[in-house]
Amino acid sequence: MRAVTVIPGSSGTARLDEVAEPEVGLGSVVVETLAVGVCGTDVEIASGSYGWPPPGKERLILGHESLGRVVDPGPSGLAVGDNVVGIVRRPDPVPCANCAVGEFDMCTNGGYTERGIKQINGFMADRWRIEPEYAVKVDESLGELGVLLEPTTVVAKAWEHIAAIGRRSFWEPSTVLIVGAGPIGLLAALIGVQYGGDVHVLDRVTSGRKPELVEALGATYHSGPLPELGLHPDIVVECTGVAHLVRDAAEAAAPGAVVCLTGVGSPEAPGPGSRSNLATDAVLKNLVVFGSVNANRRHYYRGAQVLAKADRSWLTQLITRRVPPEAFDTALSREPDDIKVVLEFAHA
């Protein structure tokens, strides 16, 4: 079968391979791939700066944003033809206390594994296998949009933690600032609007689909320097990882705000430099600045609710390019108007 594979740690090694059928040990459910989303993590793995192959192997099958159709459910209770998404992370074998209770997204010893990222083959292949408890059935009516579930779970977890942190004191948040209008930022804005927030989204681009999608949500789009927006958000979801934007967000944040970081650090962009002092802002304003990664099964449930409630035509516009597996390299290189690019293996 076809699979997009890569040698983690070596740039330029991604290729469309012919590989053996998935190993039985990966799970009793056999799934035919419909679509696989591409995200920044995949680009990083393909560029050699992230990722780990399965033990004893040189190459890793890429892909963690899955959508597939069950071809053999085994004893899972799923039916042939069900659409499913695979959970990405597996608990560490020790296991740590968090992994032991199913909160593997909070693994404390780093021994977790991740499909398509860390030591387990991913989903960019004609077929994959999965353990029944890591296969999440998605509403058939979502069709191809089911491929948006995994990134939605990442944001659903971030929002759950924001709410949990907010319970530390009396808190009535209203203004939400999302920094970065990529898929994670736009899905974070969707959830913010569903929660009834006054949502603002900041990105570099000044025209095109991103501003339109933000306005269509009933949120407000901004470009330009963050300090000049005049906003004092109660909640910030930072999706770029750019250091000066993190500092700017903390400086603008209202007292008692919660600032959630979802983007891994990227090199400091030339520009405003360090205007603010993160420690001073955080202390004097009782801020919580925290990071959020991955998602557990509870967040897949929540993410599916978010997608079910969302406007389908809005979600459809998040997918800006669909490419066949043969053109995987074009999917791994970013184009200016890209939001979510998916590899289409079969028709949803």
CB closer to ligand BGC, 136 vs 287 = 136
The DSSP 8-state label assigned to residue 7 in this structure reads: -
CB closer to ligand BGC, 88 vs 306 = 88
Check residue 332 for interaction with ligand BGC (CB under 6 A).
Answer: no
DSSP H helices, 29-92, are: 40-46
Number of residues forming the site for ligand BGC (CB under 6 A): 11
Q: How far is the CB of 102 from ligand BGC (least distance, A)?
A: 15
Task: Work out the burial of residue 70: count CB atoms within 10 Å of its CB; fewer than 13 is exposed, 13-18 middle, 19 or more buried.
Answer: buried
Per DSSP, the three-state class of 220 is strand
Q: How far is the CB of 188 from ligand BGC (least distance, A)?
A: 13
- Residue labelled with tokens 């955080």: 282
Amino acid at 83: N
Check residue 88 for interaction with ligand BGC (CB under 6 A).
Answer: yes
| Cα–Cα–Cα angle for 320, 324, 325, rounded to 5 degrees | 120
Which residue in 3, 6, 37, 41 binds ligand BGC (CB under 6 A)?
Answer: 41
Pairing of strands 15-18, 2-6: antiparallel
Check residue 296 for interaction with ligand BGC (CB under 6 A).
Answer: no
Q: How far is the CB of 39 from ligand BGC (least distance, A)?
A: 5
> Site map for ligand BGC, 148-167, x if CB under 6 A?
--x---x-------------
Q: How far is the CB of 283 from ligand BGC (least distance, A)?
A: 30
Check residue 293 for interaction with ligand BGC (CB under 6 A).
Answer: yes
Structure token pair of residue 314: 């809005």
CB closer to ligand BGC, 88 vs 236 = 88
Cα of first residue to Cα of last residue in the chain, in angstroms, is 19
110, 104 Cβ separation under 8 angstroms: no
Q: Phi and psi dihedrals of 271, rounded to 5? A: 155, -135
> Site map for ligand BGC, 53-72, x if CB under 6 A?
-----------x--------
Q: Which residues share a beta bridge with 114?
A: 89, 119
Which residue in 30, 39, 202, 259 binds ligand BGC (CB under 6 A)?
Answer: 39
Check residue 260 for interaction with ligand BGC (CB under 6 A).
Answer: no
CB closer to ligand BGC, 37 vs 166 = 37
> Site map for ligand BGC, 107-126, x if CB under 6 A?
-------x--x---------
CB closer to ligand BGC, 81 vs 265 = 265
Distance CA 298, CA 110 (A): 21
Task: Work out the burial of residue 48: count CB atoms within 10 Å of its CB; fewer than 13 is exposed, 13-18 middle, 19 or more buried.
Answer: middle
Q: Which residues contribute to the site for ligand BGC (CB under 6 A)?
A: 39, 41, 64, 88-89, 114, 117, 150, 154, 293-294
